[in-house]
A and B are shown apart, each in its own frame.
Chain A
Amino acid sequence: MATTSLRTSTGYRSGLYDWLTTTDHKKIGILYLANSILMFLVGGVFALIVRLELAQPGLQFLTDAQYNQAFTIHASLMLFLFVIPVLAGFGNYIVPLMIGAPDMAFPRINAFSFWLLPLAAIVMLSGFATGGGAAAAGWTEYSPLAQAKYEGIGTDLWIVALLLIGTSSILGAINFIVTIFKMRAPGMTLLRMPVMVWTVLVTSILVLMATPVLTSALIMLFIDRNLGGHFFDPATGGNAILWQNTFWFYSHPAVYIMILPAMGIISEVLPVFSRKPLFGYKAFIFATAAIGALGFSVWAHHMFTTGAVYLPFFSFMTFLIAIPTGVKFFNWIATMFRGQLTFSTPLLYAVGFLTMFLIGGINGAFSAAVPVDFALHDTYWVVAHIHYVLFGGSVFAVFAGLFYWWPKMFGRRLNETLGKIQFVFMFIGFNLTFFPMHMLGLSGMPRRIADYDPNAGWNDLNLLATIGGFTIALSILPFLWNVFITFRSGEPAGDDPWEGNTLEWATSSPPPPYNFDHLPEIRSERPVFDARHGATHG
C-alpha cells in the first residue's frame, strides 16, 4: 500500500499549473464537475431564451433561425457537455476511491479525456461567431435538415465537437472498465462492489459499444456536407433513414448512459440516509445489466412514424425495459421502508429523483405504445418526457451527489438550509415548467417551433412553463451562493460526516493524492459500516 512518503511535492509550482497538468483522478473528477456545471449554466441560459420566446405567441425576441440555434445548442450542451460528463466526473472522482484503488488505470489518458471537453465546448459554441450561426437542425441533426444547402459551417463545428466528445467518452469508458476490472483492492470482489461502481461499469460498456457508431454517423454526415458524399441524400441513392438508424443506435443507449450512473448515486444515498443496506443488492445489479443489454434493442422507437422500422419488435422491447426499471424502484422503496430516514439535502434530492423519474418512466411508457406514439410523436409530450427523466432524474441525482460527496471532495459541508431552499424552488419550478408540456403535447403543440397560433389554446400553459423555467433559474442562485460561502467558511466535514458505507469514507476529507493510508478489511459491499460496527460478516 501507499505510504505518506509518496505525497507529491507541489511547492515549486503554482496551484493553477497543478490543476492544468494534473493526472490525479480526484482533481480530474472535480474538473469534470466544474466544467459540466458551467455548461449546465450556459445551456440553462439558452433554455431561458427559448422559454422567453415561447411565453406568448408571436416572435418577440428572436428570428426563426436564432430560435432554431437556441434550442439546438441548449440540447447539445445539456446532453453532451453537461449530463454525460458530469456523471463521468462523479465516476472519475468516486470509483477509484470506492474500490480502494490509488488512481485510474491510465491517469494521463484520463486527463486527455477531460481536456477534450472544454475544447469541444469552444468548437461547438464558436458556431455563433460564423456567418450562418451555430448548428440549428436540433440536437438530432436529421437529414435533410442537416445537409449543406440549409446551413453554414455551424453544423460542421457541431459535428467536430461531437467527435471530440465521443472520443473523450470512449477513452473514459476504456479507463473505467480497466480500472474496475484490474485495480480493485484485495477483498473487493465484483459482488462486493458498491452499486455506483456497477452502474459506471455498465455505462462504460454502453459507451464503448454505442459511441463509435455515432462517430461513424457523424463522419458520414461530415463527408456528405463537405466532400460531396451521398450517404443520406435519397436523390442520389442515399438514405435519410440511415442517419436516424445510426444516430439512434448511439443516442438511445446514450439515455441509459445519462441515467444509470444517476441511479448509482441514488443507490448510494438512499441506504446511508435510511440507515439500512440497499434492499436486493444483486437484483439491482442484474437489473442494471438488463437495462444495459435491452438498451441496444430499442433505438427504433424514436422512428415509429418513419414507416421504416418493424413496429411490434421495437415496441415490445421498449416495454420490456420497464421491468428492470420497476425492479430498481422496488429496491429503492424497500430500502427506505422502515428505515431511519434523515431528511438531509442529499435524501431530499434522492426522493425528488424517485418521484420525478417515476413520472418520466410512466409518460415514456405511453410513447412506447405505437398508436399513442403516432399521436404524440414530435409534440411537447416528448419534451415533457425527456425533461422528466433527464432533469427530474439525472439533474436531481447530480445535486444529490454534489451535496453527498462535497464534504469528501473539499472537506467542508455545503449549507443544509440553502440546500433545502434550492431544492424547494427547483422542485416547484421543474414541475411548473414541464408538467404543462404534457397538456401542450396532448393538445397537439409541436416541438421546435418559435411561434404558435394565439387561438390554439396554448397561451396560458406556455406562460406557466416560462414562469417555471425562471423559477428553476432562481433556484440556482442559492446553490452558487452556497458554494461560495462553503469555500470561504464552510463547516468542516470530518472524514465520515454521513456515517457512510463505502470506502471513500475510510480516508481523509479531502483524500491524499494516493487515496488511502490503509484500507479497512473488505468483507461485504459495506466495508466502512462493517469497520464502524466491528461486524464479523457471515
Chain B
Amino acid sequence: MALQVSDHDEVVGHGAEEQGISNVILGMILFICSEVMFFAGLFAAYFNVRANSPVWPPEGNEHFHVASEIALPLIITTLLIISSFTCQLAVWSIRKGDRTGLIRNIAVTLVLGVIFLLGQGYDYTQLGFTLADGTFGTTFFTLTGFHGAHVLGGVLMLSVVLYRAMAGQFSSKHHDMVEAVSLYWHFVDVVWICLFSLLYLVPTH
C-alpha cells in the first residue's frame, strides 16, 4: 500500500479548484495564441504587398504619408499604453483584496479604451483615403480596423468586469476574470504598438 501512495506523487490537477493555472486563464492564454496567429496573417499580407510595391507608400495620394499627421495617433497610442498600466493596477488591487482600487482602475482603463476608439474613429474621417484606395488603403484600414474591433471587444469585456466588480463579485481569491481580461487588454495593446510602429515609424521606401 505504501508503494501505491508513493506512486501518487505524480498526481495532477483535477478541475479548477486545485492549484496551478486556472481553466479560465489558460483558456484566455490559448485564445490569445489564436489571436496572435490571426494578426500574423494580416501582418503577413501587409508585408507582402508592401514588399511587392516599388515605392511605399504607393504614389498617387499624398494622404498616404500618414506619418506627417502623427499627432492624434501618438496621443491615442499614449493613452492606450497608459490604460495597460491602469489595467494591471486593477489586477494588483484585487489580488490584495482592494475592491475600491479595482473599480477605480478598471473604470479608468475603460474610459481610456473608449477615448482610443473615439480618437481612431475621428482619425479615420481625417485621413483623406479609403479602404478602396489601392493596397495602402486596404491594408491600413483592415489592420487598424480589426485592431479597433479587438479594442471594442476589450471594452465590452472591461464593462462586464466593472459591472461585476461594482456588484462585489470579485475577491482576492476569486478574480480569474479580471486576470484573464487584463491579459487580453495587454495583448490588444501590444498589437497596437506593433501596428503603430509599422504604420507610422518604420521608414518608407
Contact = CB atoms under 8 A, between A and B. Distances in A.
Contacts of A242: 44-45, 48-49
Contact of A181 (B26, B37, B132, B146): B26
Contact of A211 (B34, B40, B45, B142): B34
B15 A183 contact: yes
Given A189-B12, A239-B48, A178 B38 contact: no
B33 A208 contact: yes
A230 B138 CA distance: 6
B131 A227 contact: yes
A183 B20 CA distance: 12
Contacts of B132: 227-230
A345 to B, nearest CB: 35
Contact of B30 (A100, A101, A178): A178
Interface string B1-44: 00010011011111110001101001100110111111111101
B64 to A, nearest CB: 12
A397 B21 CA distance: 35
Contact of A186 (B12, B31, B33): B12
A236 interface: yes
B39, B138, B139 — most chain A CB neighbours (10 Å)? B138
A298 B142 CA distance: 28
A186 B142 contact: no
B52 interface: yes
Interface string A227-242: 1111100001111001
A215 B38 contact: yes
A513 B62 CA distance: 65
Interface in B25-78: 26-27, 30-31, 33-42, 44-45, 48-49, 52-53, 58
Contact of A231 (B21, B30, B45): B45
A224 B31 CA distance: 27
Contact of B41 (A100, A184, A216, A236): A216
A179 to B, nearest CB: 9
Interface string A100-124: 1110011000000000000000000
A214 B44 CA distance: 12
A370 B106 CA distance: 57
Contact of A189 (B10, B23, B135): B10
B121 interface: no
Chain B: interface size category: 35 or more
B13 A236 contact: no
Interface string B134-161: 1101110010001000000000000000
B34, B42, B142 — most chain A CB neighbours (10 Å)? B34
Contacts of A189: 10, 12
Contacts, number: 140
A472 B177 CA distance: 51
A251 to B, nearest CB: 13
Contacts of A246: 41, 44-45
A229 B143 CA distance: 12
Nearest to B43: A216
A236 B134 contact: yes
A216 B33 contact: no
Interface string A124-157: 0000000000000000000000000000000000
B4 A229 contact: no
A213 interface: yes
B37 A212 contact: yes
B121 to A, nearest CB: 17
A34 interface: no
B49 A212 contact: no
A188 B13 CA distance: 10
A358 B200 CA distance: 53
Contacts of A170: 31, 34
Interface of A: 100-102, 105-106, 170, 173-175, 177-178, 181-189, 208-217, 219-220, 223-224, 227-231, 236-239, 242, 245-246, 249, 521, 523
In the A-B complex, list the 7 residue pairs whose CB atoms are closest, starting with the nearest: A216-B41, A228-B132, A212-B38, A212-B37, A237-B135, A186-B11, A229-B138
